[in-house]
């Protein structure tokens, strides 16, 4: 059975030469041979079992991921603990601030200048100074200052300064980590 195609579509007619033959007519194409039916071949089923091998880098990778996961979780636990401590300290600070306000109000209510003057005069024997008790000081003399002579620095004083600085640094580090 020969296939026929119309001479009107370039998509279906590959043999058309529009510059030579432009009339719409049917072209006969050579007949295509029929493809034989293929029968599935009987093959033996081969079961391949892959040997499970774990790479050393995969083991180290999983260990690193596990270590980082533990660090993140411990960080969150520490953050939770610090938040709870912060909440407790904030409550304690609020209660102490209210108590401080109450104590300051109580203290200021007890301050009475007339009562203080009466106690100072009767119990302590104090009185307001008179004009004849005031003494004036004469500060019209010359001022003097001593300037350090920086040219007389010797090697021992430099080493002593370095030793003192190093010992201060050691003490600071010890105090920081203790």
Could you tell me if residue 95 is inside a domain? yes
pLDDT in tens, 99-153: 999 999 888 887 788 888 888 889 988 888 787 887 788 888 888 877 766 666 6
Phi (first) and psi of residue 21, to 5 degrees = -130, 110
Could you tell me if residue 116 is inside a domain? yes
Our count of domains for the chain comes to 1
State the DSSP string of 93-112.
HHHHHHHHHHHHHHHHHH--
pLDDT in tens, 154-176: 777 778 888 998 898 889 888 88
Q: Which domain holds residue 100?
A: 70-130
SS (H, E, C) 51-87: CCCCCHHHHHHHHHHHHHHHHHHHHHHHHHHHHHHHH
Which residues on neighbouring strands pair with residue 5, listed in sequence order?
A: 27
Could you tell me if residue 123 is inside a domain? yes
What pLDDT, on a 0 to 100 scale, did the predictor assign at position 54? 83
Q: Cα(88)–Cα(95) distance, rounded to whole angstroms?
A: 11
Could you tell me if residue 32 is inside a domain? no
Could you tell me if residue 14 is inside a domain? no
What pLDDT, on a 0 to 100 scale, did the predictor assign at position 144? 80
Could you tell me if residue 43 is inside a domain? no
* Per-residue pLDDT band at 30 (split at 50, 70, 90): low
Angle at 125 between CA 124 and CA 128, to 5 degrees: 115
* Per-residue pLDDT band at 1 (split at 50, 70, 90): very low
When comparing pLDDT for 29 and 24, which is higher?
A: 29
Beta strands in the chain (DSSP E): 4-5, 27-28
What pLDDT, on a 0 to 100 scale, did the predictor assign at position 75? 94
Is the pLDDT at 6 greater than 60, yes or no? no
What pLDDT, on a 0 to 100 scale, did the predictor assign at position 78? 94
Q: What is the DSSP letter of 27?
A: E
Could you tell me if residue 102 is inside a domain? yes
* Per-residue pLDDT band at 86 (split at 50, 70, 90): very high
Residue 29 in contact with residue 2, Cβ under 8 Å? yes
Could you tell me if residue 78 is inside a domain? yes
pLDDT in tens, 54-71: 889 999 999 999 999 999
pTM: 0.33
């Amino acid at each position: 059975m020969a296939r026929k195609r119309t001479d009107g579509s370039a998509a279906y007619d590959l043999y058309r030469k529009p510059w030579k033959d432009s009339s719409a007519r049917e072209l006969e194409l050579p007949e295509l041979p029929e493809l034989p039916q293929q029968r599935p071949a009987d093959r033996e089923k081969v079961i391949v079992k892959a040997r499970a091998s774990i790479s050393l880098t995969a083991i180290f990778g999983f260990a690193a991921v596990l270590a980082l996961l533990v660090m993140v979780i411990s960080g969150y636990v520490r953050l939770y603990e610090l938040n709870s401590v912060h909440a407790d300290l904030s409550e304690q600070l609020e209660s102490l601030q209210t108590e401080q306000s109450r104590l300051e109000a109580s203290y200021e209510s007890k301050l009475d200048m007339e009562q203080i003057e009466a106690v100072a005069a009767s119990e302590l024997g104090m009185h307001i100074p008179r004009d004849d008790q005031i003494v004036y000081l004469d500060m019209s003399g010359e001022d003097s200052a001593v300037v350090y002579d920086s040219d007389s620095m010797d090697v021992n004083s430099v080493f002593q300064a370095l030793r003192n600085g190093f010992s201060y640094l050691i003490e600071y580090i010890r105090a920081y980590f203790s």
